Amino acid sequence: MVDWDEVYDEHARARIVEEPAKRVPAPVRTPFERDRARVVHSASLRRLAAKTQVLGPQVDDFVRNRLTHSLEVAQVARDIAHPLGCHPDLAETAALAHDLGHPPFGHNGEAVLDRLAESCGGFEGNAQTLRILTRLEAKSADADGRPIGLNLTRATLDACTKYPWRRGEGGSAKFGVYDDDLTAFTWLREGVTGSRRCLEAQVMDFADDVAYSVHDLEDGIVGGHIDLAVLDRPDELAGVCQTVRDWYLPDVEDDALLAAVERLRAVGTWPGSAYDGTRSGLATLKNLTSDLIGVFCGHVHTATRERYGDAPLVRHTADLVVPEATLHEITVLKGIAAHYVMRTPERSHIMELQRELLAELFEALASSDGRELDATFRDDHARAGDDAARTRVVVDQIASLTDASAVAWHARLSGRSAR
C-alpha cells in the first residue's frame, strides 16, 4: 500500500494559508480528498452543466456539456493515475477542475474574450481556471482579507496547471497564468525548475484528450452528424486527414493517419453498420467508447512503466509516455468530430452569432461602470486601480456566465433577443 505522506511530502501538501484543525469532528481525510471535495462543492463546477462542450447543452438531452465531460475526464484520470502510483484523488481533482475557466460557448467564446481582453493580458481558459481556484471561487482569504480561492494544496494546484507558463512563454499559444495571478503561481511552482508539467497534470491532460476524442465522436454519431461508414471513401478520409493537420498535428503525414484509422477499425467493437438509434445500436456504440478508452490508457500505462519501472510515479519524478501511434489514433477521432460537426456551415453560422453576442455583452458591461455586474464582481470593479484591471473584472464576469445566462444578460442589456 502506498504511503501518501511519504510520496507527497509536507511541501506538496502545503496550502497558501495554513488552516487550523476543524473544531467539529469530521471523518479522517487526506489533504487531497479535502481538495477534491472543495472543487466538487464549488459554484464554478456546477456552472459547467450549462456550458458548451461541442454542441450546446440546449441541443438535446444526450450530448455532453462541460460538467459531464469533466466527470468523464475525472474517471479516466483515476484509471490512469492509480496503477502509476499517483494519488487518484489528486488526479481526479485536477480533471474536475480542468475546464472551470471555460467561458460561455466553449473555445469560440474563449477566442472572443482573448481579443476583448487584450489590454489586460488576454484570456485563456486554463489561466482562468487558476484564477478561479486561487482568487475568484469564494472559500478562503489571507490575513489581509485578500481572497485566495479554495486554498488548495500545492500539489493539487500544480496538477491543475496544464500550461505552467505566462503568455508568450512555453513555445505555445496556450498559457496558464495571467500576470495578475503570478503570486499564487510562483508559490505553487516553488522548487520546480523551468516549465515542466507535473505528472498528475500530464495525466489530467491525457485523460482530457481521451475523453474528448471518444465522447465527442459518440455524441456526433448519436446526433446524426457522423456516419463512420463514410470513412470507406478515400475523399472523405482525405478531408478528415486535412482537418487533423489544420486543427491538431500540422506535420503529420497521411500514411500515419490512415494507419491509425486501420488500427481503430480493428478494435473488436468498431461498428460494422450505420447507427440506427436502437438500444442495441447505442449499446454497441457505448462498448466501442469503453474499449477505446481501455486501449489508449493501457498503451500509455505500459509505455510509462517500461521507461520508469514499478516505483510510484508522482509530481516531477517522471513524465507520462504517450506512444506516437496512440497519439495518432486519438487525434484521428478528434479530427472526425471536428470535420463533421465543428466545420459545418450551420455550426460556423451559430459560432458567428455567439461571437457577436459576447462582443456586444462586453461593451454593455464595460460601459456600465460596474453597475450591471453581479455583487462580487461589482466589488472587484470598485477596487480595481486602472482601466486594465476593470477590463479584467468585466471579463471575469462574462467568463463566469453559462451559455443560457450570457444570452439572457445580452437580451436584458441590449433590449433584443438573440437571433
How does pLDDT run across 19-56, given as a tens digit for each residue?
876 656 666 788 999 999 999 999 999 999 988 655 54
Q: Which three cell numbers stand for residue 160?
A: 491543475
* Per-position DSSP letters for 131-184, written without gaps between them: HIIIIISSS-B-TTS-B-TT--BHHHHHHT-SS-SBTT-TTSS--SB-GGGHHH
The strand pairing partners of 130, in sequence order, are: none
Tell me which residue of 100, 146, 167, 128 sits closest to 402, measured CA to CA.
Answer: 100
More confident residue, 23 or 401: 401
Q: Which three cell numbers stand for residue 164?
A: 505552467
Tell me which residue of 99, 97, 312 sits closest to 199, measured CA to CA.
Answer: 312
Decide if 358 contacts 109 (C-beta within 8 A): yes
Q: Determine the pLDDT at residue 7.
A: 87
Q: Is 60's pLDDT higher than 70?
A: no
Q: Determine the pLDDT at residue 56.
A: 47
* Residue carrying C-alpha cell 463533421: 340
Task: Show Cβ contacts of residue 13 under 8 Å, excluding neighbours closer than 6 positions.
Answer: 5, 31, 153, 154, 155
What is the dihedral sign for C-alpha 90, 95, 96, 101? positive
Percent pLDDT > 90 in the chain is: 78
Helices (H) and strands (E) counted in the chain, each on its own, are 19, 0
What is the dihedral sign for C-alpha 196, 79, 42, 63? positive
Task: Show Cβ contacts of residue 341 under 8 Å, excluding neighbours closer than 6 positions.
Answer: 54, 55, 216, 220, 223, 225, 226, 347
- Distance, CA of 208 to chain centre: 7
pTM of the full structure: 0.93
Percent pLDDT > 70 in the chain is: 94
Q: Determine the pLDDT at residue 419.
A: 53
Phi-psi region of 191 (alpha: psi -120 to 50; beta: other; left: phi over 0): left
At 283, is the pLDDT very low, low, confident or very high (cuts 50, 70, 90)? very high
Task: Show Cβ contacts of residue 378 under 8 Å, excluding neighbours closer than 6 positions.
Answer: 370, 371
More confident residue, 63 or 212: 212
* Residue carrying C-alpha cell 496556450: 174
More confident residue, 364 or 349: 364
Decide if 124 contacts 167 (C-beta within 8 A): yes
Q: Is 16's pLDDT higher than 80?
A: yes
What is the dihedral sign for C-alpha 74, 76, 79, 82? negative
Decide if 62 contacts 417 (C-beta within 8 A): no
Residue type, 283: A
Q: Determine the pLDDT at residue 272.
A: 83
- Distance, CA of 72 to chain centre: 11
Task: Show Cβ contacts of residue 193 under 8 Å, excluding neighbours closer than 6 positions.
Answer: none
